[in-house]
Amino acid sequence: GKRWAVSDGDIMITKSDGSETGNDIVTTENYGAFELVFDFKLSEGANSGVKYFVNEDFDRGGRSGLGLEYQVLDDEKHPDAKMGVVGNRTLASLYDLIPSEKLDKRFQKKIGEWNQGRLVVMPDNTVQHWLNGYKVVEYERKSNIFKALMARSKYASHEDFGMADDGPILLQDHGEDVKFRSLKIRRL
């Protein structure tokens, strides 16, 4: 109930100071292989995320739970888009690990318009991030390449980060004005 509200079917988080609060919405069920489709609308300069395989044992002192993250971000106005490596903190990226390949800006919605995110985790650990109908990230969770990316990321000190067979899904409160709607999940 803190800072989140529902209005006309939209789940909204209102702007605070732009810091992670830990007031996230987290599923009560765990998911392994699944497809999640969701709409999101960013305000100017906003930052949020949809995290999966969240491990709440990684206590972050009142900050958002740790998990693999579909980044929800205003690439033009939020400074996080310029951090990380080769764009791995931009919209629809696997946060801090793999940049999204948004090859044609015509298919990106403007700030203040609804976007559609899609997250697919297959039983063989292949993971896909989609943005407005276009696949922008694909990787194999638990692979050697995935482990190498983890070893060079900010998650390196968290043993087995992103390796669980299942986990909750989280909508992040990063202190920015963001809306979500039409969240649909199915197990694969």
**Strands of the sheet with 66-73, listed across from one edge:** 25-26, 170-171, 47-55, 66-73
d(CA 52, CA 167): 7
Q: What is the per-residue pLDDT for 6? A: 93
The DSSP secondary-structure symbol of 79 reads G
Q: How many CB atoms lie within 10 A of CB 23?
A: 16
pLDDT in tens, the chain (188 residues): 578 989 999 999 877 776 666 688 999 999 999 999 999 999 999 999 999 999 877 766 666 788 999 999 999 998 888 898 899 999 999 999 999 998 777 778 999 999 999 999 999 999 999 999 999 999 999 999 999 999 999 899 988 899 999 999 999 988 788 999 999 999 99
Question: 103 is written with which tokens?
Answer: 């090859």
Q: Which residues are CB-neighbours of 42 under 8 A, at least 6 positions away?
A: 48, 72, 73, 74, 111, 112, 115, 176, 178
- Contact call for residues 31 and 169 (beta carbons, < 8 A): yes
Phi, psi of 79, deg, nearest 5: -65, -25
Q: What is the per-residue pLDDT for 113? A: 96
